[in-house]
Amino acid sequence: MTKLPAALCLALIGSISAQAREETVPADRRAENALAEMTFAEKLRLLHGPIAAMVAPAKRPQGMTVGAGYVEGVERLGVPMLVETDASLGVSNLMDMRKGDVATALPSGMSLAASWDPQLARAGGAMIGAEARAKGFNVMLVGGVNLVRDPRAGRNFEYLGEDPLLAGILVGGQIAGVQSNNIIATIKHYALNNQETGRNVASVEMDEASMRESDLLAFQIGIERGDPGSVMCSYNRVGGIYTCEHPFLLTDVLRRDWGYKGFVMSDWGAVHSTEAILAGLDQQSGEQLDGKRYFSDLLVKAVEEGSVPRTAIDTAARRVLRAMYAHGVADHPLQPGQSIDYDAHAAIAQRAAEQGIVLLRNEQNMLPLAASVRRIVVIGGNADIGVPGGGGSSQVAPVGGLKRVTKGASSGPAAGFAKRGYGGTAPLDALRAELPDADIRYLDGKDVAAAAGAAGAADMAIIFAEKYAAEAIDQPDLSLGEGQDELIDAVASANGKTVVVLETGNPVIMPWQTKVSAILSAWYGGQRGGAAIARVLTGKVNPSGHLPVTFPASVEQLPNPVLPGSNAPAADKETRAVYGLQAGTKPFDIHYPEASDVGYRWFDRKGTKPLYPFGYGLSYTSFRYEGLKVTGGKTLTVRFTVTNSGSREGADVPQIYVTRPGKAKRLIGWAKPDLKPGESREVTVIADPRVLADFNARTQRWEMSAGKLRVEVSTSASDPVLTGVVRLDRIDRKP
């Protein structure tokens, strides 16, 4: 080992000690000290940034990694440049896909939500955050937590289901994991950005109480648990006001009521005025998409004219600085090009995929596959290539690259960037590796008669069915489309031992459901999705996923059978000019009849039976619940025992719901015990008062009168096993 000179050792020790001392100074004080040293122009640098790929290479900062965008720092004061990358499913390399850049692809957000596992969410976040830093990014645009209000919405695959408690807890875990790498994470898209149709012009009309009890509650819980450095405001309007210039959302709720101390960045192309800074927006992102430099050139003019005070610039810059110091960005300079252990990261992605797979049907214990099955025909879904993924800004080119890539849309706003491709491990190869003695044949399924004939000659058939989803495109219906329903029906008619593996970003209807023996919902499986599917099919992994969304039986069961805006007329020339549109629909309002009763709550309120309820999921073993003890008073505590009463080790997800008189049921908690055969474990859940109470907009408090509640310990929102009644004291608390 080379011995360092004593003087150099002392210098290094002094440098390290100085950094350690600096890190112990509160982030607020450090931000204030830096702000005091900055010029007006330097403060302004922190408030806007371009899309890097739209800046000529010669004009970009040298050595910067190209991603979603960047915000210049102040080098003389040690304030670093912010280098941003999408998104929740891995380091999105949309800008560099053609150059061969790859990253570890996590399964979809819907898959993560189906795991019901906050620790898994944190592990996945830590992994993608580590890759982001290694590649040269210190801001990651993760944290999508918009609730699934409509199963046709194009970005649902990125999000975490329909329940605010489940989504909020999981996104908080993911954000905390990402930020453990000394980078800033976001939570997005704030707020009520629940569909893609008309996302730039639509206005959501909803009362305050309904917002607080649903979408805003998911954000609030996520912020409390994850402490994201930034909140990203969305494209849409709420009550006629764009969310990125919405004083109620950005100032009253986010900062006054929730005490949020980070900064608010816009979504790319979501800024409409310089005055947005007065409402609570701190940073204009992807400024080229807005067409105007609202937070730079126009902001200077606004300050000079007196319409925006200089203190507003100080406030916004201070928030950005504080996030840099609070999350270690300023103290851990980027060093792009660091090595990445892709094998270790793929193992995390595989575990996430395995935990998110939901067994929906398993007649006569068709699964796991028996060793006696010798002739298997695998059909459709490009299972010989890889697993599908969603399109848009969250898309990741996995290690090994994307294969069989086509456009995700032939026209419209998604045509330029949404891609449809396959990657990761191919399910066909993985199945052959798990079943080396079986004769496994593959057909692409395009010839329905040939597929049915092959199925009739096999011991069993496994059909991979897919449905593409992407940012900027909502789906027209709930069918699989592309002739896949007809294919499944024909194959199941030819062979009663047919298994369907769904690879979708959303719920789908299943007109063939009773004709097939088994159904797996595998979502978009990520880096090792094929391996995860094969291990669940063969029983190497016992499925433990439970649905984070309701699978409706038809669109008629939805609060809005017709997707809002899907029948809106095209915007005329004058309207396009007012709203800054090149194309698109005329502005329209969105009304959600379900209000705060999203998803399973709506089905409960209406007494409607879905195809598969929220929380549903089967296992290769069985579980028994007993010994329910419910304690009331000032809070609600639920205790019970879970026993693995089957012959296989497995994890269960017992769920606790409460119902108040005249109200829809609400999830108040869950557990995920992993138990060996015969093993028992006591579960304790203490309810968050906010999922019990209602928000009173007049008093601005969460309130509930003293009274009795029905408590259910269930295997899904529709399947109670243990029930009890408890009396609770009055709830009255601040937001």
* pLDDT at residue 2 in the model: 37
* pLDDT at residue 8 in the model: 36
The CATH class that applies to domain 623-733 reads mainly beta
Domain ranges within the chain, ordered by starting residue = 25-326, 342-406+414-537, 555-606, 623-733
Check if 25-326 and 342-406+414-537 are the same fold.
no
Q: Which regions of the chain are under pLDDT 50?
A: 1-16, 18, 98
Angstrom CA distances, 611 to 49, 490, 512, 513, 547, stand at: 46, 21, 12, 9, 12
Sign of torsion over alpha carbons 215, 289, 198, 415? negative
* pLDDT at residue 4 in the model: 38
CA distance 584 to 672: 45
User: What helix, strand, coil percent values describe the chain, rounded to 5?
Assistant: 30, 20, 45
CA distance 471 to 475: 11
For the entire predicted model, the pTM comes to 0.95
CA distance 426 to 527: 10
216, 246 contact by CB (below 8 A): no
Extract the tokens encoding 250. 């950005």
* pLDDT at residue 582 in the model: 64
Question: DSSP states of 612-649 as a string?
Answer: B-TT--B-SS-EEEEEEEEE-BSS-EEEEEEEE-SSS-
Assigned CATH for 342-406+414-537: 3.40.50.1700
* pLDDT at residue 573 in the model: 77
CATH 3.20.20.300 fits 25-326, yes or no: yes
Q: Is 2 helix (H, G, I), strand (E, B) or coil?
A: coil
Residue 592 φ/ψ, nearest 5 degrees? -110, 105
Extract the tokens encoding 641. 């025992």
Other beta carbons within 10 Å of 276: 27
CA distance 398 to 560: 36
* pLDDT at residue 16 in the model: 45
